[in-house]
Structure 1
Amino acid sequence: MNNMLLKLFSGCLLLTLAFTACKKDDITGDVQDVNIYKDKTTYEFLKSHSSFDTLVQMIDAAGLKDKINAQGASFFPPTDWTIYNYLSARTLIVQNTINQNSKWGLDSMLYYLSNNIKGTRDSLQMYLIAQPLTFDKLTEAGVKYPTGLANDTAVVSYKTVTSGLGYNNNFSSPIRVVYYSHPYKVGNTPNTTDILCTTSGILTKNGVVHVLSSGHSLFFRQ
């Protein structure tokens, strides 16, 4: 019975997420003018796109707006799809271990962030680097930077491509695609995951935004 409920829940959730992911938005990975948001702060940029509706709520709950808008800050925002995947995974865990009717939804996440339960507020800062990482600062080998999370680092690099990798296939000149690499552990085994930034180098009034692919696990927890 439990397995049937879990399968039904998973199927309904996937349909909901698929509908959400299909909403029209212009954060697509296409080649864009990186200067069109220079009159907006990073927070205002996020608020102007439906792909980050849930992320903005999380930033507000965590009280991180000022840090996101700090001068010279680079932000690697996860999309709402990434957040929804995390919430669905947490829901399955509590249904398997606590109560089959329990849900770990956005209200739970916002409560955790507001009270920094299990360091959730701190963990959200792993997507923040206190340096303006424009394209001219990046290298193919990558550089390790401290993130906003204490004792945490991430490697930012780029690769030069001519097509594919989630970007528009119609461009003719080589472009640089940015990767954000963050360590994580499976048990006691250290690993590193390289996350493609589907939209890169967006210049805001206060810093730089590189939008992470939706395929990664929020907080890099496996």
Structure 2
Amino acid sequence: MNYTYLNTAKYTCLLLLVLALVASCKKDNYLTGGSKINPKVEMTTYDYLKSKPLFDTLVQLIDHAGMKDEINGKVTFFAPTDYSIRSLLLKRTTEVQLRYNDENIKYTIDSFPVNELKDSLRAYMFKEVISRENLSLSNQLYKNMVGEEFAIKLVESIDYDDIISQRPRFLHIIKIIDGLDPDPRPQDYPKEMWDKDEEVQTSGIITQTGLLHVINNQHAFYWR
């Protein structure tokens, strides 16, 4: 096997990816799923979510909670993907199966108590316009629509230091547990007090009714 060839191919692919990223940023486009899109969409936030298979389960939750109008309000919505929601559904399915000793029980969308679900979805909604242009590398504090405090900021990536001089910046949303973690966080800092930091995979989608950011697929719905 020719390892020189493999390494060359690897770095060539990486370089092409970075160049595409830089070019898209210059044009004020955004990346999602590896392709460039215009940040403005001629749809409401709800209709945009409904048009994307990645949010099929999220839309079902919104419908079950009767929150279409709220999602279409003038809010910033940090949308969890179906992967995030399904992980919670699987977890709760396991819990109820163990509780009732019945492997045939399934926790479904309809199993969510409506009031709990409303609060869970509102936890991702903010009245302020939270756009990249208004953020920096420092934490900025916001309260979601259930009164919980979050820090939101840009984080520089060091993954491309050997290729480009200007580091790309990614949007992060951080659920504050008991005051912001000290920076740097001490090694003996209790893990149950760690803030929950999530990277946004797609940011700045401007709908007809609000602003939409998409949290990464590994995020656990409602940080559970």
Aligned to 1:56: 59
> 5 Å matches for 1:41-190?
41-71=44-74, 73-101=75-103, 102-109=105-112, 112-113=113-114, 116=115, 119-149=116-146, 151-161=147-157, 174-184=167-177, 189-190=192-193
Residues 1:48 and 1:34: Cα distance change in structure 2 (over 3 Å): same
Cα–Cα, structure 1 residues 63 and 176, in superposed 2: closer, same or farther, change >3 Å? same
Q: SS of the residue aligned with 2:49? A: helix
TM-score by length of 2: 0.71
Corresponding residue for residue 7 of structure 1: none
Q: CA deviation at 1:35?
A: 2.5
Count of aligned residue pairs for this structure pair: 180
1:33 to 32, 37, 46: 37
Cα distance, 1:90 vs structure 2:
0.4
Distance 1:176 1:206, change over 3 A: farther
**1:137-162 CA-partner distances (Å, limit 9, x unpaired):** 1121121111011x312111111337
Give the gaps of 5 or more residues in structure 1.
1-25, 165-169
Q: Is the 8 A contact 1:75 1:127 kept in 2?
A: yes
Deviations, residues 13-54 of structure 1 (Å, cap 9, x unaligned): xxxxxxxxxxxxx942x46334341x2111111011000011
Q: Is the 8 A contact 2:151 2:176 kept in 1?
A: no
The structure having more radius of gyration, on CA atoms, is 2
Distance 1:207 1:218, change over 3 A: same
CA, structure 1 residues 171+44, in 2 after alignment: closer, same or farther (shift >3 Å)?
farther
Q: Is the 8 A contact 1:184 1:220 kept in 2?
A: no
- Secondary structure of 2:145 counterpart: coil
Aligned pair 1:196/2:193, yes or no?
no
The answer to whether the 8 Å contact 1:27/1:51 transfers is no
TM-score, normalization by structure 1:
0.72
Query: Residues 194, 57 of structure 1: CA spacing in aligned structure 2 closer, same or farther, 3 A cutoff?
Result: same
Tell me which amino acid in the other structure corresponds to 1:217.
Answer: A
Q: What RMSD in Å do the two structures reach over aligned CA positions? A: 2.6
Change in 2 beyond 3 A, CA 1:145/1:191:
same
Alpha-carbon separation, structure 2, partners of 1:197 and 1:123: 18
1:208-219 to 2 correspondence within 5 Å? Answer: 208-219=211-222
The DSSP-based 3-state class of the residue aligned with 1:216 is: coil
> C-alpha separation between the residues in 2 aligned to 1:199 and 1:35?
10
